Amino acid sequence: MTVAAYTLAVVLDLFVVFIGARFLLQPLPSAAGYGVPAKEDGDRAYLTVKGLRDLTFGLLGLALLAFVGARAGAWFMLLVALAPLGDTLIVLRHGGTKAVAYGIHFATAVAVLVSAGLLFAV
């Protein structure tokens, strides 16, 4: 179970690092993939904030796993699950589809919670 717990946590953290980097490098396509497209002439600062937030979350998760251990990683995952839950509501409230809200963001929250549970069990 230890290998599965760490593998899932690392994969999720790396995925969040990828998402963050993509928002920093390709903000408009990333926003469309998020479920709420950004306006071409809109303020891109908010997309940069999203990218930096995700990049930081992913790197922090990796650092906790590497330097502190499974219990710290589990607490981190438990709390960071609030972000995709919030993203679910944001997509629903701002005209995004239910498929994206639930199929991407809510499903991500569930995966992160499963990861937290596995890390707590280690």
Residue 31 corresponds to which tokens in the numbers above?
């926003």
Question: For the whole model, what pTM was predicted?
Answer: 0.93
- Is residue 73 a contact partner of residue 65, using CB atoms and an 8 Å limit? yes
Token pair recorded at residue 59: 């790197």
For residue 91, pLDDT beyond 90 = yes
What's the CA gap between 47 and 57, in Å, rounded? Answer: 15
Distance between CA atoms of 118 and 114, rounded to whole angstroms?
6
pLDDT tens digits, one per residue of 15-50? 999 999 999 999 999 999 999 999 998 888 999 999
Non-local CB neighbours of 52 within 8 Å, separated by 6+ positions: 20, 24
Q: How many CB atoms lie within 10 A of CB 98?
A: 12
For range 86-114, the mean pLDDT? 97
Structural domain tally of the chain?
1
Looking at the chain, list the stretches that DSSP marks H as alpha helix, in order from N- to C-terminal side: 2-25, 27-34, 45-67, 70-80, 82-93, 98-100, 107-121
Q: What is the pLDDT of residue 43?
A: 82
Q: What is the extent of the structural domain holding 85?
A: 2-121
Q: Look at the block and give the residue holding tokens 């690092």.
A: 17
